[in-house]
Structures are given as structure tokens and as C-alpha cells.
């Protein structure tokens, strides 16, 4: 039980320090803008107007969160389907005499 508390405290400290660093970075760079471009050697694109650094960070965080949420939901659905299938197999096996 003691090791679990230590791990939770370390995770909380790391999480809060990461949030603190991100907030400081956003506060220091709130007025800065950047010109975004994508160069694929065959074709290149560039946004017409500069974008704020905080906007880029917000969009990046949102996209990463969305991708992780979709993957977590997909994994949950696959796990539920597998659990349901195993429960059905167990129920069928318990009724038949060959299972014993």
C-alpha cells in the first residue's frame, strides 16, 4: 500500500510540474506568432497569415486528446466484445456435459 501512495505522489508532482511549465510557456509566448508551412518536396503549403503560438499549442493538444480518446473508446469496445464472447462460451460450456 505504501508503494502505491509514493507512485501516486510522484505522478501528481510530475503532472502538476508539467502543467506549470506549459502555463508559463503560454504566458511568456502569448503575443508571439509563427508562420506555418508544410514542405513535402513535391508540394508545399503555407498559411496566409501567422498563427499564435498558443493557438498552435491548443490545436495540438486538442488533436492529441481526440486521437487518444478515439483509441481508448475503440479498445474499450473491442474488450467488451471479447468479454461478451467469452461469457457466452462459458455459459454454453457449463450447460454441456462435455465441458466437465
Q: Does 46 reside within a domain?
A: no
Q: Does 35 reside within a domain?
A: no
| Residue 45 DSSP class | E
- Name every residue whose Cβ is closer than 8 Å to that of residue 66 and which is 6 or more positions away in sequence: none
Q: Does 20 reside within a domain?
A: yes
Q: Does 36 reside within a domain?
A: no
Note down pLDDT in tens along the chain; length 100 residues. Answer: 788 999 999 999 999 999 999 889 888 988 899 888 888 988 888 888 998 988 888 899 999 999 999 999 999 999 999 999 999 888 887 665 554 4
- Residue 11's domain comprises 2-29+53-99
pLDDT score, position 96: 58
What's the pTM? 0.63
Q: Does 73 reside within a domain?
A: yes
pLDDT score, position 18: 92
Q: What is the three-class DSSP state of 78?
A: helix
pLDDT score, position 95: 63
CB 47 within 8 A of CB 37: yes
Q: How many domains does the chain have?
A: 1
Element at 100 (helix H, strand E): none
Q: Does 14 reside within a domain?
A: yes
Place of cell 510530475: 14
Amino acid at each position: 500500500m505504501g508503494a502505491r501512495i509514493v507512485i501516486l505522489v510522484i505522478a501528481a508532482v510530475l503532472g502538476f510540474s508539467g502543467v506549470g511549465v506549459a502555463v508559463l510557456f503560454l504566458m511568456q509566448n502569448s503575443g508571439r506568432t509563427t508562420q506555418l508551412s508544410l514542405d513535402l518536396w513535391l508540394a508545399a503549403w503555407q498559411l496566409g497569415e501567422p498563427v499564435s503560438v498558443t493557438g498552435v499549442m491548443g490545436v495540438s493538444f486538442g488533436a492529441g486528446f481526440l486521437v487518444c480518446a478515439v483509441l481508448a473508446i475503440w479498445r474499450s469496445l473491442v474488450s467488451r466484445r471479447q468479454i461478451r464472447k467469452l461469457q457466452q462460451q462459458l455459459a454454453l460450456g457449463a450447460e454441456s456435459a462435455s465441458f466437465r
